[in-house]
Amino acid sequence: MGWGQEAFNAECAALARALQVAATRSHTVGSVTIFTDAQAAIWRMTTDDPGPGQKYALEAREHIAALEKEPNAQIEIRWCPSHQGIEGNEVADQWVKLAADEPDAHGVEWLSTTNPGGSVSTRKFPLPRSLANVKCGFSEQKRDDASNWAKKQLARTRNRKYRPGEKKKPDQTVAKAKKRLASRFYQMKTGHCLTGQYLAWTTRRPDATCWWCQYKIQTREHLFKNCPHWKSQQKTLWAVVLEETRKLPGPTRGRDRTSIAELLADQRCSQAVLTFIATTDVGRTSGPPAADGDEDTASEASGWEAREQKERAWERREEERLERE
């Protein structure tokens, strides 16, 4: 069925597919009975009016017309409460999971046409589609176009800092984290973060020196692996990463043979990285102010810190207010 489909579309597609199996069987059967717990899908099969599920309603009516050509054909679609007491429900669930793992591609149906001389021929012709189904197709195409564009851009620019995840779906571990923490995570992942290297590149700091240990260049690799200021947190981070990647399928991530781009792209390591960011000031502060100290020439990074402090102060006041109430 492709991406962007809803449960209602799946129920309608299941009815159409069941009728298709019955219509294309090799032996003759006097009656066909289909059980479903979706009353809305049953109603949709009774009309071919435009709307959601129209494509599957048209398919179902074609299969019903083919079945009615057989003598003594009886076709019933019965409603049952959530398949309770119906034999074969577990088998149906297995088939549904298999279909979800291997979704069918959108295709074009063969329709039969009666020629003026009476002969019947087949021609390739797309079935009518409802507006909802067209919108689903647009959404699926936009997702594929965006993914292809991102791959081309990364290949063209040879960006070594950012590496997209293997799965197209968002990382649920990061999605459930606090907003500011998730923001710092994604800033680190893209490389547009509060590090000496990035701030010097954007001319917001005079140099890329690490403001915690005075190392000549502060990169993500330095902060996550070598900065002595966060030595204990780094040790905990890589111990957890090694343990988690050993337990779950995929390559094992060690401190010496894993780049930061690989670390941040691996969803198995997301919780360990979030904990490291939350227990340190990595990605949250840009260090001491510049030597001139002029407020008019303060960097944008300092502005970010000021907003962070205001938000934390507001949250503390709200928590105190709620406790008093």
Asked whether residue 154 is domain-assigned, the answer is: no
Are residues 207 and 316 part of one domain? yes
Are residues 119 and 63 part of one domain? yes
3-state secondary structure of 74: strand
Whether pTM > 0.85 for this model: the answer is: no
DSSP string, 119-181: -EEEEE-PPP--HHHHHHHHHHHHHHHHHHHHHHHHHHHT-SS----SSSS--HHHHTS-HHH
Asked whether residue 278 is domain-assigned, the answer is: yes
Are residues 182 and 104 part of one domain? no
Asked whether residue 187 is domain-assigned, the answer is: yes
Are residues 302 and 246 part of one domain? yes
Asked whether residue 1 is domain-assigned, the answer is: no
Are residues 180 and 318 part of one domain? yes
Q: Tens digits of per-residue pLDDT, 271-285?
A: 999 999 999 999 887
CB atoms within 10 A of CB 173: 17
User: Residue 125: which of 113, 109, 114, 148 has the closest Cα?
Assistant: 109
pLDDT at 77: 87
Are residues 115 and 29 part of one domain? yes
**118 has a pLDDT exceeding 60:** yes
Q: Tens digits of per-residue pLDDT, 167-176?
A: 667 788 998 8
Higher pLDDT, 163 or 253: 253
Domain region containing 111 = 7-131
Domain ends where: 65, 99, 131?
Answer: 131
* CATH number of the domain encompassing residue 14: 3.30.420
Q: Tens digits of per-residue pLDDT, 51-108?
A: 778 888 888 888 888 888 877 778 888 887 765 566 666 676 666 655 554 444 434 3
Asked whether residue 126 is domain-assigned, the answer is: yes
Asked whether residue 152 is domain-assigned, the answer is: no
Total domains, the chain: 2
Are residues 90 and 38 part of one domain? yes
